[in-house]
A and B are shown apart, each in its own frame.
Chain A
């Protein structure tokens, strides 16, 4: 028993040493620790199922206190070939809109199940991300992933989230909204990835229908290139969607991260030129700046400021939003989040002046 405990402690120590390059689900954790998304996630572009390293990290390094389970550490592996993960977010929230009654409710934001089958270990993977709640089952991602022998290249085919900018947890962020590329709008297509040294690059071709069936020969092309250093990263992304009969839609983004002491900074700015709208097209600009202050292990203060210009040809219509969220991870697999989101916009539209107060129970493994 003592020997097993010593072995486990040694493993944790090894992981702690490796954490100079270790990370978890959200981009701020990657920026705070230094590595690429693929260090902790099965999906090389991040999010979803954690690999064994990511699972052990989530249990040993994220929580304020680790409930001792002896040598039993959940690594997500049901067998050598099958892995399982899940993510649950349940909210209690109050939303205020001027001239409207405050809405207070409980809300199941999501319950998702991740399954992967490494049918050829380290080389060929089948992956499914299924949303089980709210409502009925909804497939988010389902793809096959083939790695080159040296894990420098990969080819992904199926339904997937497209590579574009930071893969933020908040899918309602302005930068996620105007690009239309987020974790609620997967698309079907192919993605070619290249991960070598500090470089991280993806090229994808997809239907461009955000989950709907393909209805034309037009396709959506996405490209992303990032340089990842231990203390900072910088990337650029582009997207061109020619899938609408009425016109095309282009998006360009720059994004990055920087670690300064206990604070991990994130930033992204996106420009969207949508010529597929019936009124002749709109050019939109959105930006995000976020600071994640790791106050103590298991305690993170997240402050986010956002900016949106919904039509660059029109003046005085800009919107802003800021969020303050405290994230406490008391023990492994459990996170409590509490925060406020404050949106501001033109006085004419009450819906641009919302206040959201929420407490969230976040369970994951």
Chain B
């Protein structure tokens, strides 16, 4: 058994050893990535999404909010953040959108960053110092300006109209109640084409299929690239098929009249087992 002074010496030695291990940053850029890896230092923060992604979400938030196991399923890497933030209801406060374009005071992201009284859980970034108010003010400004996507993402709009993400995913099993299905497109969807014919939800019963019951389908508030499909009554346990009509008269199309091209079908299972 060690005596007290010996143990204290051991503690101090361990501390000195560990404290000496912090990296000196040699060969790294302003975000801690290797120089020349394509991650040039981002320009100063401005009130546009790309700048906020590069200066806030990527260097600070993705450390926890990335990949499998991202808290609340909120992935904030560049590939997912916009679709999962703008116009999408918060998991913690379902009455609020994570980002409500034009309304920073009603955007849950801002409330979490500011540690406002109405949040559930702790202020973000978790475990780190709060963002400077000047940074939050830039995010507020971007939301006040309409929370538009980045020019880089907009450049993608020349591509064919397509689904970029869907939840539940193909062959997913989700626990009841399934309150909402989310479909993200690469272009702004023509809301006038969203109806019972172009969006179809069926309950699969062996080889047969029947309408799954009434549901609502509308574009996410402030994010017309996201379609929210909400069952009006709880879906029973079983297998379901969601079909987005992609060709023929009345097919889903973007605001430039580019249609999906093919019917888009995804099947999933609702599980009511506790």
A306, B18: Cβ atoms under 8 Å? yes
Q: Mark B49-91, 1 if CB is under 8 A from A, else 0.
A: 0000000000110111011111111100111100000000001
> Known interface pairs A213-B73, A348-B28, A348-B30. Does A318 touch B22 (Cβ–Cβ under 8 Å)?
yes
B26, A316: Cβ atoms under 8 Å? yes
The answer to whether B1 has its CB under 8 Å from any CB of chain A is: yes
> Known interface pairs A135-B118, A260-B7. Does A171 touch B127 (Cβ–Cβ under 8 Å)?
yes
Selecting from A33-41, A66-74, A76-84, A242-250, the interface stretch reads A242-250
Q: Within 8 Å CB of B172, what residues of A?
A: 214-217
B63, A246: Cβ atoms under 8 Å? no
Least CB distance from A307 to B in Å reads 5
Partner of B67, one of A95, A246, A287, A289: A246
The answer to whether B248 has its CB under 8 Å from any CB of chain A is: no
The answer to whether B169 has its CB under 8 Å from any CB of chain A is: yes
Q: Within 8 Å CB of A214, what residues of B?
A: 172-175
* A249 vs B75: C-alpha distance when bound (angstroms): 14
B78, A278: Cβ atoms under 8 Å? yes
Least CB distance from B132 to A in Å reads 6
Q: Within 8 Å CB of B77, what residues of A?
A: 277-279
Selecting from A17-25, A50-58, A117-125, A177-185, the interface stretch reads A177-185
B19, A244: Cβ atoms under 8 Å? no
Residue in B28, B33, B67, B92 with the greatest tally of chain A CB atoms within 10 Å:
B67
Q: Within 8 Å CB of A345, what residues of B?
A: 22-23, 32
Q: Mark A191-222, 1 if CB is under 8 A from B, else 0.
A: 00000000000000001111111111110100
> Known interface pairs A247-B67, A278-B78. Does A316 touch B18 (Cβ–Cβ under 8 Å)?
no
Near A by CB (< 8 A), chain B positions 13-64 give 14-15, 17-19, 21-34, 59-60, 62-64
The answer to whether B205 has its CB under 8 Å from any CB of chain A is: no
Least CB distance from A355 to B in Å reads 9
Q: Mark A92-129, 1 if CB is under 8 A from B, else 0.
A: 00010100100100010110000000000000000000
A243, B68: Cβ atoms under 8 Å? yes
If over half of B's interface residues share one DSSP class (helix, strand or loop), that class is named, otherwise mixed; here it is loop
Q: Within 8 Å CB of A246, what residues of B?
A: 67
The answer to whether B207 has its CB under 8 Å from any CB of chain A is: no
> Known interface pairs A213-B73, A348-B25. Does A136 touch B15 (Cβ–Cβ under 8 Å)?
no
Q: How many cross-chain pairs have Cβ atoms below 8 Å apart between A and B?
A: 222
B25, A316: Cβ atoms under 8 Å? yes
Q: Mark A285-296, 1 if CB is under 8 A from B, else 0.
A: 001010101000
The answer to whether A224 has its CB under 8 Å from any CB of chain B is: no
B18, A185: Cβ atoms under 8 Å? no
> Known interface pairs A213-B175, A278-B77. Does A263 touch B7 (Cβ–Cβ under 8 Å)?
yes
Least CB distance from A226 to B in Å reads 22
Nearest chain-A residue to B91 (Cβ)?
Answer: A212
Least CB distance from B272 to A in Å reads 13
Q: Within 8 Å CB of B72, what residues of A?
A: 210-212
B19, A320: Cβ atoms under 8 Å? yes
B67, A138: Cβ atoms under 8 Å? no
* A208 vs B14: C-alpha distance when bound (angstroms): 35
B66, A277: Cβ atoms under 8 Å? yes
> Known interface pairs A100-B132, A276-B68, A322-B18. Does A261 touch B117 (Cβ–Cβ under 8 Å)?
no
* Residue positions of B touching A, CB distance < 8 A: 1-4, 7-8, 10-11, 14-15, 17-19, 21-34, 59-60, 62-64, 66-74, 77-80, 91-93, 115, 117-123, 126-130, 132, 167-169, 171-175, 274
Sorted from nearest, which 10 A-B pairs have the closest CB atoms? Answer: A172-B127, A212-B73, A276-B67, A346-B25, A244-B68, A276-B68, A305-B18, A318-B23, A316-B23, A344-B22
**23 A-B residue pairings within 8 Å (CB atoms):** A100-B129, A134-B117, A136-B119, A180-B64, A209-B73, A210-B71, A210-B72, A213-B91, A213-B174, A216-B168, A216-B172, A243-B68, A263-B7, A274-B66, A305-B18, A310-B63, A314-B34, A315-B27, A316-B27, A316-B28, A318-B23, A345-B22, A348-B25
